[in-house]
């Protein structure tokens, strides 16, 4: 079922639902840990599970002669496979992330054909991050430089048009296309208005809904939704919430994801003697955020749970 249909259903019923996001297993791990994380959430009936996609990392290994050898290692492959496994095991929609970084348009087309055969028809279309150690996004010679181009490719496939042109009387894919939106602006955008224009471009290219980057501040999220509406973006917007879970995230989250952490949250986290208490603070903050957003009429909330889900179980108990 398309996420947009689930969203409309939740809105019509006035019953808020949620989705979660996790990382595919590290290379060499089986699917066990992913299932261990998802099993306890089954009873709360999440609408979908997003699975991130990770390109290769660059690693330098020192040789005996002291020279450095450059290796590229993909530490978390398997996004498509684990998505299919999740759908089979739980009967929920899995939403694999598709990223442009490091892939040609042909690689992406092949991946989309696999997804279609697997019965996965929700995808999140992203540009993807820079390769670690690179200061700007390097476009694959035969790939896409921006998410809107990937959205266009998928939308055209839904119309029966492949990269090499139209295939007569072909089987049509039926992808529901999600894209990312940034309540606190994407780090590369020169200003919020320009970022909004780029988001509108993705929707005009065929995106069916938006999932937001994590934000710890409902005022930012609600202002973002209002600004989208004012800019003529009328697709569903699903706010992203990250249950705060470690002290290290005080610097990691602003550094990696370019999000602000509210002063009150920072003070509460700093007071915690260990990460066990930080996890509790994270649960309380996420529950308060969720409660307010649901009261404001948001039908679906997206939680960046990523690894262990003990905190998400508590959040789901409180909200859903």
Ligand X SMILES: NC(=O)C1=CN([C@@H]2O[C@H](COP(=O)(O)OP(=O)(O)OC[C@H]3O[C@@H](n4cnc5c(N)ncnc54)[C@H](O)[C@@H]3O)[C@@H](O)[C@H]2O)C=CC1
**Interface residues toward ligand X, by CB under 6 A:** 52-53, 97, 99, 126-129, 146-148, 180, 186, 188-189, 195, 198, 202
Interaction of residue 215 with ligand MHF, rule CB under 6 A: no
> According to the binding rule CB under 6 A, does residue 222 interact with ligand MHF?
no
Rule CB under 6 A: say whether 52 interacts with ligand MHF. Answer: yes
314 binds, among ligand MHF, ligand X, none (CB under 5 to 8 A by kind): none
Task: Give just the sign of the alpha carbon dihedral 169, 208, 76, 44.
Answer: negative
Q: Least CB distance from residue 75 to ligand X, whole Å? A: 13
CA distances from 125 to 138, 140, 252 (A): 17, 16, 24
* Nearest C-alpha neighbor of 311 from the set 44, 86, 51: 44
Chain CA centroid to CA 243, Å: 14
- Mind giving me the DSSP string for 220-249? HHHHHHHHHHHTT--S-EEEEE-----TTH
Closer residue to ligand X, CB minimum distance, 108 or 269: 108
**Residue 83 C-beta: closest distance to ligand X, Å:** 12
**Of the candidates 35, 44, 90, 257, which one interacts with ligand MHF according to CB under 6 A?**
257
Q: How far apart are CA 109 and CA 20, in angstroms?
A: 26
**Cα 167 to Cα 298: distance, rounded to the nearest angstrom:** 40
Count how many Cα atoms sit within 13 Å of the Cα of residue 250 in the half-sphere of its side chain: 16
Find which of ligand MHF, ligand X, none residue 261 binds, CB within 5 to 8 Å per kind: none
Residue 132 vs 172, nearer CB to ligand MHF: 132
Binder of ligand MHF out of 177, 289, 304, 316 (CB under 6 A): 304
Q: Give contact residues for ligand MHF (rule: CB under 6 A).
A: 23, 52, 129, 213, 257, 304, 306-307
């Amino acid at each position: 079922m398309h996420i947009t249909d689930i969203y409309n259903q939740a809105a019509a019923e006035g019953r808020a639902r949620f989705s979660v996001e996790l990382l595919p297993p590290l290379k060499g791990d089986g699917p066990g840990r992913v299932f261990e994380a998802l099993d306890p959430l089954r009873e709360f009936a999440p609408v979908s599970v997003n699975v991130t996609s990770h390109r290769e990392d660059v690693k330098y290994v020192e040789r005996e002669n002291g020279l450095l050898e450059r290796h590229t290692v993909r530490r978390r492959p398997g996004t498509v496979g684990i998505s299919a496994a999740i759908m089979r095991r739980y009967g929920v929609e899995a939403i694999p992330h598709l990223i442009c970084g490091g892939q040609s348009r042909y690689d992406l087309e092949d991946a989309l054909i696999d997804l279609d055969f697997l019965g996965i028809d929700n995808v999140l279309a992203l540009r993807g991050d820079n390769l670690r150690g690179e200061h700007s996004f390097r476009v694959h010679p035969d790939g896409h430089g921006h998410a809107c181009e990937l959205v266009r490719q998928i939308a055209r496939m839904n119309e029966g048009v492949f990269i090499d042109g139209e295939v007569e009387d072909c089987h049509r894919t039926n992808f529901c296309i999600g894209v990312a939106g940034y309540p606190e602006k994407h780090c590369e955008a020169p200003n919020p208005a320009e970022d909004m224009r780029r988001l509108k471009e993705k929707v005009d290219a065929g995106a069916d809904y938006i999932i937001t980057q994590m934000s710890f501040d409902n005022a930012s999220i609600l202002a973002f939704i209002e600004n989208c509406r004012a800019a003529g973006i009328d697709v569903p917007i699903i706010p992203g919430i990250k249950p705060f879970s470690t002290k290290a995230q005080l610097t990691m989250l602003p550094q990696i994801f370019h999000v602000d952490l509210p002063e009150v949250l920072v003070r509460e986290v700093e007071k915690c003697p260990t990460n066990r208490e930080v996890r509790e603070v994270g649960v309380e903050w996420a529950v308060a955020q969720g409660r307010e957003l649901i009261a404001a009429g948001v039908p679906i909330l997206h939680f960046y749970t990523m690894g262990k889900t003990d905190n998400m179980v508590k959040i789901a108990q409180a909200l859903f």
